[in-house]
Structure 1
């Protein structure tokens, strides 16, 4: 993290310089201002905050946006990727390659800390007693709290104990890992403050009080029981305060690039099919067989970095999750690869010699496909690398399902079933058949069924690993449903957390090999 902090200082200087070029003829150089003076200028602070949003959404682009989705019961790496990169294959095999030297995990750690550190700088620079939630300063402070709380939430879910970046207590806290109870106290406090200070409405891609309340509810649901903070009633309360601000829309509208930021959207990262604001996701998740057959100008070409598990694409009758008539199935997953009347074959890629493991023409993720990149459009982009659909981070259906979980845990299973049926009614186009309506069930059965429903609703939206961790189901379900995990047979209980990167331990004297998560070397 020390190296990260240095990088952020340099990046901050660049932002300040760019923000102040119109003043470069003034006597005082803004690049030499101390941070107190920088954060006293609300315009410069706003510029810094926008830079943080840019760094944050960058985490969800290209291959790096897929890493934490690998190794679940929902998504696994494509066969050729597993064969060609044994080290990264450890993310699905959970073998000895899943270790502190794995670059892809170090990158996930390193991408998040600059976001946390910069948010912490804004908080330290802007925070003051009795700041008004209706002021520009209050809104910026609330958004910084939200970003730090959200990213710390992810870090704590993936790595457990993490450093606490409260710069007002830096001498006390340093950059060492802190006890889980302290970490979750910090996360919940940040999201609570954000829920008060963030504006109720904001520019697309920026935090609101609704987003903060949604994440506060998720934090109360997800905090490890050992911390004492897991509280489904407080989560319920947070969700109830914000759900009425949003409305479910037709499921297909969520993936229509002409209808971004729908009434269901709580927070989504803004992209477009024009570099540098493209997200490159389709380049990673499309089919290599399609690419070899039709070229990059087919909008669902790609490189099979992740593909659905059999469980995530099959019907209930065949051991999967999908029920007849569920409209989410064909919006989420591509089953048919025929392109303008021509059906691709595996012939161009048989050199890969994958035996029975070819999966390039088996079902793929569909919901991020961007037809604007296709060679048959007038955009003249002709390359799926430029895919640029918005990426949902928080949306109402997710929160409704979380809310239903809370009701079930509060012994209100009947009410929970009714909420889930609201989401399922949308999935059947507004009229839910009687045989697809959830009815009376036990609390235990609800816990099982809601995990299946979350795959149907939130497939490939980067919540699955967190869902598996918070419910204690990661080992059981991944071992049963992920092809590579099952074949390897080496997943262990300690794999619920990722290893602390070796690079962090070498650069940060306050995190040593003795601080490594148990089970890893």
Structure 2
């Protein structure tokens, strides 16, 4: 009997030991460390959905317009300039554009959490062997795409930035890194994305086509000083993906009933209902219209941004628009008549803007959403709920980029042909002979393509980057932005923004001495 008890106790100990061992091997369902989270594809998928949601929120409300301000395409409305002098520095390029400006700090701050979360996924999935075509590879590609895209923007806007490669965090810290290292990192991320993202994906998520497109833009935009600018490689990237997309009638791009068209490479998905609305119309519509007709008019708003004179005027009036170009009426609102009644400035004369009233001058039209109007059956009745999708990458943009590359590669004839494809669409499918580009020198093409990109991509958040990468930022903004021209303060160092003061206070690796030249 004693022997039986001993055997039983021994057996129980073995079972208990095995049970404890199994228990210790199991993952806690309430507390997971990062190595567990970012190597588990189901948890990564959840994280990635959050990344996309936070990324698209960058393009909503007023914060979605900040990087459009202060260009030769878009400037702040007159009342906004008067009522918020600090933010006015974004167009005046005066002393208000400094490291303490909250609007710039916010643009820095809203991007880095998304970059850091994507970096965790890249480290978690990339630390082992990833099978090409697997779910892990797809998720790795998407995380690399988001990090690469946002780093691309951050580097264009601020120059040297920290590199968030968590496998080298001890080495890199949170310091700003040399431009060559930053752009090498961006290109590597986007190449990984191109190699691993799926060819098709859910709307609003990255594909290999989107990755090749932004990789091509990176090769075009990398500062010459890095030695990484390469128009041949950029053209090759574009050639790998352009055939998978096709141009559609220009008006279809802004028709909320025709989302994610065959031209769309990537667009952020919105709808006219909170919390998935983008709120853009609330910011870009007319104060005069709002005062006259109320929030229920779908093109009411508060004039946070308006087109520059150059961006809304015809060629014979010193602007960009040629007779017959259908993009003009789709991009810019000129007529504010609403159901037979025309608003006046009378309700807002208290603003006392003198000759600067611009509430009934041309406005941005692309993001107007009639579904919010009081005359629809939706009963939304407030332009704050505007919810059109926002294009991030589309084929016409890439075709024009490709044409630039061909011109730089001394293939001017081919470059002109590609531009004429885009222009043919702009004239409804038949491009008049006098509107066809032909016989342009390389330098003449460089000048003309900048106007063409403004016509095609007005208010799509590419102008600042286009101006910076082509070296035309100060020249064009000073000549065409009303507020910049009046102040006369813009200087070469304004091509990039100041590092936020809060970042230098909270990040021990970035000191005041690391500030971009010209700022304090």
Give the TM interval when normalised to the shorter protein: over 0.9
Matching of residue 233 in structure 1 with residue 229 in structure 2: no
Q: SS of the residue aligned with 2:467?
A: helix
Offset of 1:30 from its aligned partner?
3.2
Query: Matches of residues 49-448 of structure 1 in structure 2 within 5 Å?
Result: 49-448=48-447
User: C-alpha distance in 2, partners of 1:414/1:374?
Assistant: 47
1:393 counterpart SS class: strand
**1:411-441, Cα deviation, whole Å (9 max, x unpaired):** 0111100000000000000000001010111
Partner Cα separation in structure 1 for residue 435 and residue 330 of structure 2: 19
Q: How does 1:493-508 map to 2 (within 5 A)?
A: 493-508=492-507
Instruction: Give the C-alpha shift of residue 130 in structure 1.
Output: 4.2
Q: Distance in 2 between matches of 1:292 and 1:319?
A: 31
Q: Which runs of 5+ in 1 are unaligned?
A: 1-26
Alpha-carbon separation, structure 1, partners of 2:132 and 2:101 = 43
Q: Render the CA deviation track for 1:160-183: whole Å, top value 9, x for unaligned.
A: 000000000000000010000000
Q: Which has the larger radius of gyration?
A: 2
Q: How far did 1:38 drift?
A: 1.4
2 CA distance for matches of 1:28 and 1:221?
46
- What secondary structure is seen at the aligned counterpart in 1 of 2:380? coil
Separation in structure 2 between the aligned mates of residue 40 and residue 329 of structure 1, nearest angstrom: 49
- Runs (4 or more) in structure 1 with deviation over 2 Å come to 27-31
Query: For each residue in 1:472-504, what CA deviation from the matched residue of structure 2 results, as whole angstroms up to 9, or x when unmatched?
Result: 000000000000000000000000000000000
Q: TM-score, normalised by structure 2?
A: 0.94
Secondary structure of the residue that 2:354 maps to in structure 1?
Answer: coil
Contact 1:328 1:427 in 2 (8 A): yes
Structure 2 residue 485 is matched with structure 1 residue 486 = yes
User: Which residue matches 1:36?
Assistant: 35
Question: Aligned equivalents of 1:117 and 1:298: distance in 2?
Answer: 40
How many residues end up aligned between the 2 structures? 495
* TM-score, normalization by structure 1: 0.94
Match in the other structure for 1:23: none
Structure 2 residue runs of 5 or longer lacking an equivalent are 1-25
Structure 1 counterpart SS, 2:356: coil
**Alignment partners' CA distance in 2, 1:29 and 1:341:** 66
1:133 touches 1:198 (CA, 8 Å); kept in 2? no
The secondary structure found in structure 1 opposite 2:150 is helix
C-alpha contact 1:370 1:387 (8 A) present in aligned 2: yes
Q: Deviations over 1:229-284 (max 9, x none)?
A: 00000000000000000000000000000000000000000000010000000000
Q: Which residue of structure 2 aligns with residue 514 of structure 1? A: 513
Give distance in 2, aligned partners of 1:131 and 1:400.
Answer: 33
Distance 1:472 1:419 in 2: 23
CA distance in 2, matches of 1:169, 1:40: 18
Q: Equivalents in 2 of 1:426, 1:135: separation in Å?
A: 39
Secondary structure at 1:71's aligned position in 2?
coil
CA–CA separation in structure 2 for the residues paired with 1:67 and 1:111: 12
Cα-to-partner distance string for 1:212-241 (whole Å, 9 max, x where unaligned): 000000000000000000000000000000
2:3 aligned residue: none
Residue by residue over 1:62-90, the C-alpha shift from the partner in whole angstroms, topping out at 9 and shown as x without a partner, is 00000000000000000000000000000
Q: Which moved more, 1:496-505 or 1:129-138?
A: 129-138
Take 2:201 and 2:171, find their aligned partners in 1: how far apart are those partners?
Answer: 35
Q: Alignment partner of 1:272: what SS?
A: coil
CA deviations over 1:115-146 (Å, ceiling 9, x no partner): 10000000111114541231111100000000
Partner of 1:11: none
Q: Secondary structure at the match of 2:355?
A: coil
Specify the SS of the correspondent of 1:518. Answer: coil
| Secondary structure of 2:72 counterpart | coil
SS at match of 1:307: strand
